[in-house]
């Protein structure tokens, strides 16, 4: 497919996830499975709409991004009954209590609701991209509020040289739901916090960034993975600061691991034994990273798109197609996306 064909498919798939645009009264579809919003998917959804806006200059996509953000805050920023906001958040400061994942099952279930660190960082990133594209600091301010609200509940021993993390907490942030640390969470937090802080002149995240930096310094030499989503995420994380020592190590490790997986036939296994969205993590990561090979960026990415395109809705109607769109055109996920600042809202309205 050429770029224009990818763009048309991108629009079609996004319409299938969230519904066709019906004007400024438009509201995003709820997901069939969990009857509401899902934080990871919707972070991709917001970024996808921003990419569509940057590619087309059509202001409808900014409206859709805004409406999706509003719906996430009014759904996942409240308890499961939607009767009260989380923590001390309010309409103007909707993220002071964090955001639920949006799981089907309630807390206590092995796959129950709660707050995931790596979902929250995805949302903070999406808000930052919205702030940049729309030229409105409100969204980045919300990202800062979110980070400051959740950080103390995920990161412990902060005053020592070896802070530690948990990757999941209860909905109200009162206790860890899982005591272990996510493999990429320190790197993810370090990079996302720095991206958000770069658009804020107050130095509001200096302490939080230092906590993450300590963990990255202690961990980066030991980083390893054999999971395609994890490896793709590692490439996305590291491409934001490619010249730093930790980033070079994580990048090299991830690229070697992906090459091994390809040559050993992982990506040739029956699709029933694989998950499409995990491989779209890979294809996004290799496309944005400057050190990924041309073989990966072109031939292998295209091959994986061809494999999964007829099966996009086989597993779910949200996370898989949303990540497929981001893989078709990574757009605002790329630190070097040349269209990110091309047009402002005012520019588009004056055309």
Q: Which two tokens stand for residue 303?
A: 């091959």
Q: Are 289 and 336 in contact (CB under 8 A)?
A: no
Phi-psi region of 90 (alpha: psi -120 to 50; beta: other; left: phi over 0): beta
Tell me the whole-structure pTM to 2 decimals: 0.95
Please state, in angstroms and rounded to a whole number, the distance separating the CA atoms of residues 212 and 229: 21
**What is the pLDDT, as a whole number, of residue 341?**
66
Give the closest residue to 233 by CA, choosing from 150, 152, 165, 327: 327
pLDDT of residue 34: 63
In order along the chain (351 residues), what is the average pLDDT of each group of 10 residues?
A: 96 97 94 81 98 97 98 97 95 97 94 97 98 95 97 97 97 96 97 94 89 98 97 98 98 98 97 97 98 96 97 93 98 93 44 27
Radius of gyration (Cα) for the chain, nearest Å? 19
Side by side, the strands of the sheet bearing 176-178 are 115-116, 168-169, 176-178
Cα separation, 37 vs 30, in Å, equals 6
Secondary structure of residue 179 in the 3-state scheme: coil
Per-residue pLDDT at 346? 38
CA–CA distance from 161 to each of 44, 88, 153, 184, 218 (Å)? Answer: 34, 31, 18, 19, 9
Contact between 130 and 69 (Cβ < 8 Å): yes
């Amino acid at each position: 497919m050429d770029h224009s064909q990818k763009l048309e498919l991108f629009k079609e798939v996004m319409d299938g996830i969230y519904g066709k645009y019906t004007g400024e009264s438009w509201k995003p579809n709820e997901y069939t499975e969990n009857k509401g919003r899902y934080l990871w998917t919707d972070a991709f959804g917001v970024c996808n709409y921003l990419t569509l806006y940057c590619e087309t200059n059509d202001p409808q996509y900014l409206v859709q991004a805004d409406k999706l953000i509003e719906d996430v805050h009014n759904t996942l920023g409240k308890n499961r009954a939607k009767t009260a906001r989380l923590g001390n958040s309010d309409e103007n400061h909707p993220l002071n209590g964090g955001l639920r994942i949006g799981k089907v099952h309630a807390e206590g279930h092995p796959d129950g609701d709660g707050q995931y660190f790596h979902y929250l960082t995805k949302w903070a990133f999406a808000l930052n991209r919205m702030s940049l594209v729309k030229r409105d600091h409100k969204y980045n301010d919300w990202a800062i509020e979110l980070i400051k609200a959740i950080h103390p509940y995920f990161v412990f021993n902060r005053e020592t040289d070896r802070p530690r993390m948990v990757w999941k907490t209860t909905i109200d942030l009162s206790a860890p739901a899982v005591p272990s640390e996510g493999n990429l969470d320190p790197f993810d937090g370090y990079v996302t916090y720095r991206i958000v802080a770069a658009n804020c002149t107050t130095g509001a995240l200096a302490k939080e960034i230092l906590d993450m930096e300590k963990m990255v310094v202690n961990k980066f030499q030991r980083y390893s993975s054999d999971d395609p989503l994890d490896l793709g995420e590692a490439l996305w994380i590291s491409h934001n600061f490619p010249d730093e020592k930790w980033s070079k190590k994580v990048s090299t490790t991830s690229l070697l691991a992906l090459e091994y997986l390809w040559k050993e036939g992982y990506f040739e296994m029956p699709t029933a034994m694989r998950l499409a969205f995990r491989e779209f993590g890979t294809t996004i990561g290799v496309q944005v990273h400057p050190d990924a090979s041309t073989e990966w960026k072109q031939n292998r990415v295209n091959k994986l798109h061809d494999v999964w395109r007829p099966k996009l809705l086989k597993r779910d109607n949200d996370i898989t197609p949303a990540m497929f769109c981001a893989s078709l055109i990574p757009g605002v996920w790329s630190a070097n996306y040349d269209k990110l600042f091309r047009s402002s809202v005012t520019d588009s309205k004056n055309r």
